[in-house]
């Protein structure tokens, strides 16, 4: 704040001037000693003082004024102010014309800024001159700084700047650092005293910083923002420099605000990594599905199966969702689901598959819907994208849906209703558009009866139903499947095994409780293990042991060449077959074999059962 400097001399001067004729030397006042006349007083004033007549002719100009304006010994009295000091012309003219005092007017000289008060000199009704009284702005500032209100304001400002959790730098118009706050010291790893008073160019030269936004503001004259890496503290700062302008529109200060972006940057990096990983997964999934479909053509000769294929293609072409595929284990439900996806408009998006029975109940929700960082003890640091999110735009295949726990059924139903869900421990709803295909070998209406499956979910999931018959109900498919897999595994293992028509015929009489999966495994085993190129005897000899009534373990006949892993494998397979004969579901099998359900599912798959 610049206090108004009152021209103390003015009243007496005016009185005197009006008393005398025109601008003769002022006479000494009665109350003052003879030697101190008004001119002396004016001469010793700390402000610069110039008086002119109505035409702008200088009548008085004091010593201070000469010093401040660098006039030297030149006596400007009697000269036109408009010519000798043209920078005062606008104020003098305005004051003469308007006849009013003009206070706190500013003028810039080459070196300084002057704060001027101009007062008209009146005689009777007319204005006979002007008196100018000016100070250098800096002098006023020094004076102002000493005032109590300035000090108070300064303290307030220091508190505000100091309290800011953002870093703050203030530079003057030349880029000299005026002040920085504590937050900035910490963020930049510097001490205020090492930078205050220094020029930003110098700081850059000394390699204290690799860039500073102040230099950009000085160059452009407008607000600038940069992202700055601070090597010393390993932080990333978002720096915004804003110019503050004076009344003439010139830059007076540059205020720089520094916001710590490190955490945000870390989060962004994690997000990017996550996104890349998800994209990679998606690509791999699509690729895998494509590959699988190329390898796994649906082989069928039976009318029943052909009808199902035609229906499934229709559903694929209309982009149907909520398809329920029923059928015993190994009949090809998964294969059909993939084929529907591959023939739909979603084919270029992921096909994501989950076996609801193979994943422990407490992990299934996290697997399906994902979780946020710290959602539960042991939750990974950055959380996890669920399979629903991975299936965005594609198809989510819920295998063994009948084994989905009731609490999850509710969450699934909610998703199917509004296509939104929340990750475990999450607060944000995530929108995912994907088709769902479910499959089960269980009797869902029966589960509904037993209150083990929600009725509403059953109807929601089964907008379209496809029921695949067991292989023994479509024996026509067996020869084609045998040929297909024989060719496939001959190629894979570089063999040339073959089967006679008779052997194939014999195989059609076999019940294949493990359906196509079992047939496929028998052929693969034959191609790999049979000593002869003709598989007939291998297939007929193993046929009995494929369908045992009781577990019969082929223990090694001699103590030589014992292959423990292979023997254990065989025992495991036979026990699984026995268990399956006695149990309807994998849950029952898990109780029968005294292992958990997910292990049952895994082992059945391992043995191709």
Binding site for ligand ATP (CB under 6 A): 296, 298-300, 327, 329-335, 399, 439, 441, 481, 516-517, 520
d(CA 213, CA 226) in angstroms, rounded, equals 6
Tell me how long the chain is.
Answer: 609
Which CB, 114 or 305, lies closer to ligand ATP?
Answer: 305
Which CB, 260 or 353, lies closer to ligand ATP?
Answer: 353
Strand, helix or coil for residue 260: strand
Residue at shortest CB range from ligand ATP = 332
Please state whether beta strands 464-467 and 323-326 pair in parallel, antiparallel, or not at all (unpaired): parallel
Which CB, 340 or 385, lies closer to ligand ATP?
Answer: 340
Residues 6 or more apart in contact with residue 361 via CB below 8 angstroms: 405
Which CB, 339 or 578, lies closer to ligand ATP?
Answer: 339
If 0-12 CB within 10 Å is exposed, 13-18 middle and 19+ buried, where does residue 73 land?
A: exposed
Which CB, 112 or 572, lies closer to ligand ATP?
Answer: 572
In the complex, least distance from residue 521 CB atom to ligand ATP, rounded to whole angstroms: 9
Burial 421-439 (b: 16+ CB within 10 A, else e): bbbbebeeebebebbbbbb
Which CB, 346 or 520, lies closer to ligand ATP?
Answer: 520
In the complex, least distance from residue 517 CB atom to ligand ATP, rounded to whole angstroms: 4
In the complex, least distance from residue 470 CB atom to ligand ATP, rounded to whole angstroms: 10
In the complex, least distance from residue 330 CB atom to ligand ATP, rounded to whole angstroms: 5
Half-sphere exposure of 183 (CA within 13 A, CB side): 18
Which CB, 299 or 387, lies closer to ligand ATP?
Answer: 299
d(CA 111, CA 330) in angstroms, rounded, equals 95
Which CB, 140 or 326, lies closer to ligand ATP?
Answer: 326
Which CB, 135 or 344, lies closer to ligand ATP?
Answer: 344
Strands of 461-503, DSSP E: 464-467
Strand, helix or coil for residue 605: helix
Query: Pick from 520, 515, 529, 536: which is nearest to 569 by CA?
Result: 529
Question: 316-320 long-range CB contacts below 8 Å, 24 or more apart?
Answer: 316/340, 316/341, 316/342, 316/343, 316/344, 317/343, 317/344, 319/344, 319/345, 319/346, 319/435, 320/435, 320/463, 320/464
In the complex, least distance from residue 274 CB atom to ligand ATP, rounded to whole angstroms: 30
d(CA 141, CA 178) in angstroms, rounded, equals 16
- DSSP per-residue string spanning 426-453: --SEEE---EEEEEESS-HHHHHHTTSS
In the complex, least distance from residue 300 CB atom to ligand ATP, rounded to whole angstroms: 5
CA distances from residue 139 to 105, 113, 134, 143, 239 in whole angstroms, order as listed: 15, 10, 11, 6, 34
Alpha helices in 70-136 (DSSP H): 81-84, 89-98
In the complex, least distance from residue 282 CB atom to ligand ATP, rounded to whole angstroms: 22
If 0-12 CB within 10 Å is exposed, 13-18 middle and 19+ buried, where does residue 134 land?
A: buried
Which CB, 181 or 300, lies closer to ligand ATP?
Answer: 300
d(CA 600, CA 358) in angstroms, rounded, equals 8
Tokens of 493: 């293992």
d(CA 452, CA 166) in angstroms, rounded, equals 57
d(CA 119, CA 140) in angstroms, rounded, equals 19
Which CB, 199 or 296, lies closer to ligand ATP?
Answer: 296
- Give 3-state DSSP helix, strand, coil % of the chain, rounded to 5: 45, 20, 35
In the complex, least distance from residue 502 CB atom to ligand ATP, rounded to whole angstroms: 23
In the complex, least distance from residue 571 CB atom to ligand ATP, rounded to whole angstroms: 22
Supply the DSSP symbol for 87: G
In the complex, least distance from residue 298 CB atom to ligand ATP, rounded to whole angstroms: 4
In the complex, least distance from residue 608 CB atom to ligand ATP, rounded to whole angstroms: 8
Which CB, 243 or 513, lies closer to ligand ATP?
Answer: 513
* CA 501 to chain CA centroid, nearest Å: 64
In the complex, least distance from residue 377 CB atom to ligand ATP, rounded to whole angstroms: 32
In the complex, least distance from residue 235 CB atom to ligand ATP, rounded to whole angstroms: 52
Which CB, 26 or 354, lies closer to ligand ATP?
Answer: 354
């Amino acid at each position: 704040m610049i206090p108004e400097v009152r021209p103390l001399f003015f009243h007496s001067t005016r009185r005197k001037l009006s008393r005398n004729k025109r601008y003769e030397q002022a006479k000494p006042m009665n109350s003052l000693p003879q030697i101190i006349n008004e001119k002396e007083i004016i001469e010793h004033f700390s402000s610069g003082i110039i008086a002119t007549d109505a035409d702008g002719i200088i009548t008085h100009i004091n010593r201070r004024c000469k010093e401040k304006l660098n006039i030297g010994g030149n006596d400007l009295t009697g000269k036109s102010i408009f010519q000798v000091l043209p920078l005062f012309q606008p104020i003098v003219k305005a004051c003469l014309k308007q006849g009013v005092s003009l206070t706190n007017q500013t003028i810039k000289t080459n070196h300084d800024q002057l704060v001027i008060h101009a007062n008209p000199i009146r005689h009777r009704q007319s204005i006979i001159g002007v008196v100018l009284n000016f100070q250098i702005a800096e002098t006023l500032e020094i004076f102002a700084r000493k005032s109590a209100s300035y000090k108070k304001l300064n303290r307030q400002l220091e508190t505000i700047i100091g309290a800011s959790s953002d870093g703050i730098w203030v530079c003057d118009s030349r880029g000299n650092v005026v002040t920085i706050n504590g937050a900035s010291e910490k963020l930049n790893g510097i001490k205020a005293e090492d930078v205050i008073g220094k020029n930003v160019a110098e700081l850059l030269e000394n390699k204290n910083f690799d860039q500073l936004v102040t230099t950009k503001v000085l160059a452009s004259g407008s607000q600038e923002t940069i992202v700055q890496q601070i090597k010393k503290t390993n932080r990333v700062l978002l720096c915004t420099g804003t110019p503050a302008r004076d009344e003439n529109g010139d830059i007076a200060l540059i205020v720089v605000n520094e916001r710590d972006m490190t955490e945000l940057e870390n989060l962004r990096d994690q997000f990017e990594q996550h996104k890349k990983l998800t994209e990679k997964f998606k690509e791999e999934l699509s690729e895998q599905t494509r590959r699988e479909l190329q390898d796994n053509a649906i082989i069928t000769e039976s009318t029943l199966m052909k009808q199902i294929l035609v229906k499934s293609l229709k559903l694929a072409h209309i982009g149907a969702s909520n398809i329920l595929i029923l059928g015993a284990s190994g009949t090809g439900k998964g294969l059909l689901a993939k084929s529907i996806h591959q023939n739909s408009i979603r084919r270029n998006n992921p096909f994501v598959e989950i076996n609801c029975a193979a994943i422990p109940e407490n992990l299934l929700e996290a697997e399906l819907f994902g979780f946020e960082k710290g959602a539960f003890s042991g939750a990974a640091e950055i959380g996890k994208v669920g399979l629903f999110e991975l299936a965005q735009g594609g198809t989510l295949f819920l295998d063994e849906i009948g084994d989905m726990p009731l609490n999850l059924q509710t969450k699934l139903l909610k998703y199917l209703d509004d296509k939104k869900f929340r990750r475990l421990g999450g607060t944000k709803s995530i929108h995912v558009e994907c088709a769902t295909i479910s499959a089960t070998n269980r009797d869902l209406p029966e589960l509904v009866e037993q209150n083990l499956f929600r009725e509403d979910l059953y109807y929601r999931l089964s907008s379209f139903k496809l029921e695949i018959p067991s292989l023994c109900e479509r024996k026509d498919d067996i020869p084609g499947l045998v040929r297909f897999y024989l060719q496939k595994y001959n190629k894979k293992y570089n063999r040339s095994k073959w089967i006679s028509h008779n052997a194939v015929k014999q195989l059609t009489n076999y019940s294949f409780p493990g359906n196509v999966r079992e047939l496929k495994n028998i052929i693969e085993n034959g191609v790999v293990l049979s000593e002869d190129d003709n598989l007939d005897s291998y297939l007929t000899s193993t046929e009995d042991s494929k369908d045992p009534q009781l577990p019969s373990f082929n223990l090694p006949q001699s103590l030589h060449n014992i292959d423990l892993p292979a023997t254990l494998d065989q025992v495991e397979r036979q026990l699984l077959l026995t268990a399956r004969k006695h149990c309807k579901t994998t849950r029952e099998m898990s109780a029968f074999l005294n292992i958990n359900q997910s292990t049952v599912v895994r082992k059945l798959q391992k043995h191709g059962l």
